[in-house]
Amino acid sequence: MSRKTMIAGNWKMNNTVAEARELVEGLKARASEIAGVDVVVCPPVTTLAYAAEQFAGTPVKVGAQNVHWAESGAYTGEVSASMLKEIPVEYVIIGHSERRQYFGETDGTVNQRVKAALAAGLTPIVCVGELLEQRETGETEAVVKTQVEVGLDGLTADDAAKIVVAYEPVWAIGTGLTASPEQAQEVHAFLRNLLRGLFGAVADGIRILYGGSMKPANAKDLLAQADIDGGLIGGASLKADDFMGIILSG
Ligand code: 13P
């Protein structure tokens, strides 16, 4: 089954309104170069609506970086899926390692967020990945297996067909240390088999993105791997030319 490449930019906690304007304008100016690749940008909440408005009618889609599972209520600092849909936003990153490390995100809360996103018609980009010490002790597969099994617990095959998975080895995020194409492919193939065991043939259509110091210089080799279907880009998504360089590698 052929899978359309997806290049998603995770701005994380970056870009003031003025900085976002410069980046959005830079991407819009080059949007006509985008062909055959799904492109998503995920700004912080302060510039989500602005980005959604600016990219309307262009090939660039917009995503959020988190979503709460409740419809509304006393959850200070959170946003609901229906709030994101209203903007409108189409994608949402769930379970990023920074949320797991610094904000107490667990596989259980990832699961609740994924279900809420799907129920609202948002496409979850579900992140998994091991810490350096887990890789060094040979636990990578066990770690990502639990993250997938618990994070996607209770999903039907139809649900699973709507998600995107991102493999982001934590030791490669923001460090300049990229997983080699072979190291990444090995985990992506493991994830694909795992998804096949859980959801059957739809696993062949699920995009599995790689994230962790992807840049124009290494994107092509990573994206050439059989089970690497795109990238989730942090630092290099903050400069229009770098992000476009990765998009054009896809
Ligand atoms: P970097 O591309 O900055 O390593 O970040 C990757 C990431 O965490 C994307 O979600």
What are the domain boundaries of the chain?
5-249
Locate the ligand 1 atom nearest the alpha carbon of residue 97 and give its number: 8
Report whether 231 contacts 211 (CB < 8 A): yes
Does 211 sit in the ligand 1 pocket, CB within 6 Å? yes
Q: What CA–CA distance (Å, rounded) separates 59 from 31?
A: 7
Distance (Å) from CA 99 to ligand 1 centroid = 13
Residue 1 has pLDDT above 80, yes or no: no
**Do the beta carbons of residue 161 and residue 206 sit within 8 Å?**
yes
- What pLDDT digit, counting tens, does each position of 126-147 carry? 999 999 999 999 999 999 999 9
- How far away, in angstroms, is 73 Cα from ligand 1 center? 31
In this prediction, residue 159 carries a pLDDT of: 98
In tens, the pLDDT along 74-107 reads 999 999 999 999 999 999 999 999 999 999 999 9
**Tokens standing for 181?**
């194409």
Q: Is the CATH number 3.20.20.70 carried by domain 5-249?
A: yes
Q: Whose CA is nearest to atom 2 of ligand 1?
A: 234
pLDDT at 158: 98
How much is the pTM?
0.98
With CA atoms as reference, report the closest residue to 211 among 180, 168, 249.
168
Mean pLDDT estimate for the chain: 97
Q: What is the pLDDT of residue 176?
A: 86
